[in-house]
Structure 1
Amino acid sequence: MKLIVQIPALNEEETIATAIRAIPRKIPGIEAVEVLVIDDGSTDRTVKVAREAGADHILRMPSNVGLARAFSAGIEESLALGADIIVNTDADNQYCADDIPALITPILERTAQIVVGARPITEIESFSPLKKALQRLGSWVVRQASGTDIPDAPSGFRAYARDAAARLCVINTYTYTLETIIQAGRKRIPMTSVPVGVNEVTRPSRLFRGMREYVTRSAKTILRVFVIYAPIPFFFSVAAIFALPALIAIGRFLVLYMAGDGGGHVQSLVLAAALLAMSTVLSAVGILADMIAANRSLLEDIRARELLRMPQSRSDSVKRAKILSADAA
């Protein structure tokens, strides 16, 4: 069984070597451990330092594409390299690599296909009280949207079984952490979390410029992914918000009409008609979105099958090349 530890990196020449060397190369139940660094358009010595530190594979993006796309590219490359388990960690050595064996244990035991490393949020001194509160709130919102029980949704220290990794399709360009949990929950991929340690913070996060930006972008991501993967509950809920006051207005008019005072309250019927029209349109949009979601699910299944076939395709290509070389000789 092969484990590939992928590390998205952008200008991490000062920390990438420490992160790579900390990765355990011998793990019970794993035959081979390899390191894949995804260079997201670095302009410093990140790639050279990574090679010198022992990275087995370097995937260089043509330009800076962002963390989410670099993560997705790494997943596809890891699958193409024949990974049975993929662990994602940060290039700034934030997560304790000694916890990788514990992180992949639920996958080896076949009790889960995705495992998220849960950091001790309350014990991290570099996190302000506000950030800790927002971390807990954000994780709670993700749990409600995904139907899962992951206590640390923003954690980037994760392990993916091969089949689960192939089924994930990140569409967000900002971050993959929240989206993949909601996707996995909606696709009923078995998921769990294990406690992991963290190392001393070496630099502030470069993913967002401030807490307001982080909260805003995370909220947009959660809402967008929920709408994409659960359109019926979302649009029908919004439609109900319009339909309820419409029904109240109609009921009010009928009561007044039965009391002989309905003539002066026709505007209630006009308002109710407008609200019901909006509710009907939203319900129709929800049905159409659900049909689109069903089509997207079929396309994602096709994509997953193609990703799982890539190592075999590469092997077949190598065999054909060897046969052609032999015939030419």
Structure 2
Amino acid sequence: MPQDPLGTRRPRVPLTFIIPAYNEEAIVAANVDRLRCYLKDREITTYEMLLVSNGSTDRTVEIARASAAGRVDLTVIELPRRGVGRAFKAGMARAHYDRVVCLDLDLTIDLDFITAAAEGLDTADIVIGSKQTGGQQRSWIRRLASAAFIVCTRRLLHLTFTDYSIGAKAFRTASIRPYLPHLADQSAYILQLIAWGHRDGVAIAEIPVWCDDRRKSRFNLIHEGFYRFGSLFVLWLQERLCWRRGIDGR
């Protein structure tokens, strides 16, 4: 079960939440309200939610806009093409605050990640919520694929972090802004941010997070697996070429 080591600690800085959405009409209204209730309970009053629909073909945008009506805390951004990287970049372009927390709309993580991440950004530029060091209820195939990806990332990029998924990440806007024009339009953008930030000396912290994600994935897992491992190889190759140019140029 998730633990609550944070007690009543509350962030006193404004937060931007970037929440990508793809065909989530069944949960969008309830989960926006759930997030609002959590923030109210924690007395987090200065925030904005940027819900970015990327390629949705159902009523996600319509329902989200109804939830935003008469409120100033929720902005709905509609993109015609699918891509969580696109959604992230669109959200960053609209973010008003320096501290950004990225969440999946299904809210499968323990929401106390929000307060932990906000605190972590006092000293770090990137905060990674890790299911591996926290806890998780997910299918065995997704856990196995994640473990294999982590091992490959450690071997190829020499990164010691243990989570490269989309949700439960937080950033200082000023620190990652130089990378934004170069980020992938799909899910590889997280790996890019972590790898490039680590290379450039950006302060990265990893904290445990609890995740209960047993619903059917919005991604085709086979396609996503090939894409993620392919993106890892491309990133490794790019880093090798940059390193070789540096050696040859000396």
Pairing partner for 1:174 from 176, 186, 189: 186
What's the Cα RMSD here? 2.9
Matched residue, 1:140 = 151
**Larger Rg, first or second structure (1 or 2):** 1
Per-residue deviation, 1:60: 1.4
Matched residue, 2:74 = 56
- AA paired with 2:103? T
| Matched-pair identity in % | 23
Q: How does 1:226-265 map to 2 (within 5 A)?
A: 226-233=236-243, 236=244
Q: How does 1:161-240 map to 2 (within 5 A)?
A: 161-169=172-180, 170-175=182-187, 176-201=189-214, 203-210=215-222, 213-233=223-243, 236=244
- AA paired with 2:47? V
Matched residue, 1:2 = 14
Q: Given the two structures, how large is their TM-score scaled by the length of structure 2?
A: 0.79
1:124-183 CA-partner distances (Å, limit 9, x unpaired): 34321x432331221233244444431122252111012123133343233122222112
1:224-254 CA-partner distances (Å, limit 9, x unpaired): 2233344244xx5xxxxxxxxxxxxxxxxxx
Pairing partner for 1:22 from 27, 34, 56: 34
CA contact (8 A) 2:84 2:185 kept: yes
CA contact (8 A) 2:16 2:47 kept: yes
CA contact (8 A) 1:86 1:159 kept: yes
CA contact (8 A) 1:117 1:195 kept: yes
Which structure: greater strand fraction? Answer: 2
Pairing partner for 2:58 from 35, 40, 44: 44
Distance 1:118 1:44, change over 3 A: same
Per-residue deviation, 1:209: 4.0
- AA paired with 2:81? N
Pairing partner for 2:49 from 6, 10, 35: 35
- AA paired with 2:232? I
SS in 1 for 2:216: coil
CA contact (8 A) 2:104 2:166 kept: no
1:152 maps onto 2:169 in alignment = no
1:169-201 CA-partner distances (Å, limit 9, x unpaired): 343233122222112112221111111122453
1:68 maps onto 2:94 in alignment = no
- AA paired with 1:19? N
Per-residue deviation, 1:53: 3.4
Distance 1:287 1:106, change over 3 A: closer
Distance 1:29 1:116, change over 3 A: farther
Q: Distance in 2 between matches of 1:147 and 1:104?
A: 27
Q: Distance in 2 between matches of 1:209 and 1:197?
A: 22
1:83-122 CA-partner distances (Å, limit 9, x unpaired): 12111111222223232101221112x2x11001111589
Per-residue deviation, 1:57: 0.9
Q: Distance in 2 between matches of 1:168 and 1:26?
A: 33
Q: Distance in 2 between matches of 1:4 and 1:106?
A: 15
Gap runs ≥5 in structure 1 = 237-285, 292-329
Number of aligned residues: 229
CA contact (8 A) 2:56 2:82 kept: no
Q: Distance in 2 between matches of 1:228 and 1:27?
A: 46
CA contact (8 A) 1:142 1:153 kept: no
1:102 maps onto 2:121 in alignment = no
Which structure: greater helix fraction? Answer: 1
Per-residue deviation, 1:217: 1.3
CA contact (8 A) 2:133 2:209 kept: no
Distance 1:187 1:136, change over 3 A: same
- AA paired with 2:211? V
Q: Distance in 2 between matches of 1:30 and 1:231?
A: 45
Q: Given the two structures, how large is their TM-score scaled by the length of structure 1?
A: 0.61
SS in 1 for 2:18: strand
Distance 1:28 1:107, change over 3 A: farther
SS in 2 for 1:196: strand
